[in-house]
Chains A and B, each alone.
Chain A
Amino acid sequence: DIQMTQSPSSLSASVGDRVSITCRASESINNYLNWYQQKPGKAPKLLIFAASTLQSGVPSRFSGSGSGTNFTLTIGSLQPEDFATFYCQQSYSTLYTFGQGTKLEIK
């Protein structure tokens, strides 16, 4: 299995802050890295695919970067609706794997 490690596991921030979440793969996955947002009681929602491509309808304050083994999700200016848990996912191998998640909380 390709292991995915996210950091931090939790993060407190205020509305308007810029925050970043990192994800590291145990081996190179090129740019086969996707980011999801999950709110309590809801299914995950695709935010970014192929490391840096914004899914249709996702606000431009979300951005992704990286390739190989190191990736970053950045939220440019936090809005109240952004507080949630974020997961990275590798899609390089047929058996996808997720990072353990980063819970973004309001400070």
Chain B
Amino acid sequence: EVQLVQSGAEVKKPGESLKISCQASGYTFTKYWIGWVRQMPGKGLEWMGIIYPGDFDTRYSPSFQGQVTISANMLISTVYLQWSSLKASDTAMYYCARRNQDTTGSPSDYWGQGTLVTVSS
């Protein structure tokens, strides 16, 4: 069974760093892209970026380029999203989602449960 399990909720102060994770299981980790999606409180879904764990090819949406870093560790089938200096505006729920390129249209077929990040002084 395919599963994406994300790390737990975080409460941080502005200026702090943070790395959240998404651990995959039930499929060959290196063969599928995994993306990150932001959902600010009461708002819609925003695609942040995506990584291919097989060769670490990483793409960022223009709004998030330079603001976050996406990485992966093949040994533990885990993808990460990290910030070097958080802002209050980073407060949001963050989801990871697998891109299934074996399916027509390459939809995001499996999603993590979400990680709530709260940034407050």
Chain A residues close to B by CB (< 8 Å):
1, 31-34, 36, 38, 43-46, 49-51, 53, 55, 87, 89, 91, 94-101
Among B45, B47, B62, the one with the most A-chain Cβ atoms within 10 Å of its Cβ is: B45
Cβ–Cβ contact B59 & A34, under 8 A = no
Cβ–Cβ contact B104 & A46, under 8 A = no
Of chain B, the residue at the smallest CB distance from A102 is: B44
List which B6-57 residues lie within 8 A (CB) of chain A: 35, 37, 44-47, 49-50
Q: How many residues of B contact A (CB 8 A)?
A: 26
Q: With a CB–CB cut-off of 8 A, which chain A residues contact B108?
A: 34, 36, 44, 46, 89, 91, 96
Partner of A43, one of B49, B99, B114: B114
Cβ–Cβ contact A98 & B107, under 8 A = no
Mostly, the B contact residues are strand
A54 to B113, CA, bound (A): 22
Cβ–Cβ contact A34 & B50, under 8 A = no
27 pairs, A vs B, C-beta closer than 8 Å: A1-B61, A1-B62, A31-B104, A31-B105, A32-B105, A34-B105, A38-B45, A43-B111, A43-B114, A44-B95, A44-B111, A45-B111, A46-B109, A49-B107, A50-B104, A50-B105, A53-B105, A55-B109, A89-B45, A91-B105, A95-B47, A95-B49, A95-B59, A96-B35, A96-B47, A96-B99, A97-B61
Of chain A, the residue at the smallest CB distance from B50 is: A94
Cβ–Cβ contact B107 & A34, under 8 A = yes
List which B48-78 residues lie within 8 A (CB) of chain A: 49-50, 59-62
Of chain B, the residue at the smallest CB distance from A101 is: B44
Of chain B, the residue at the smallest CB distance from A32 is: B105
Q: With a CB–CB cut-off of 8 A, which chain B residues contact A49?
A: 103-105, 107, 109
Q: With a CB–CB cut-off of 8 A, which chain B residues contact A94?
A: 50, 59
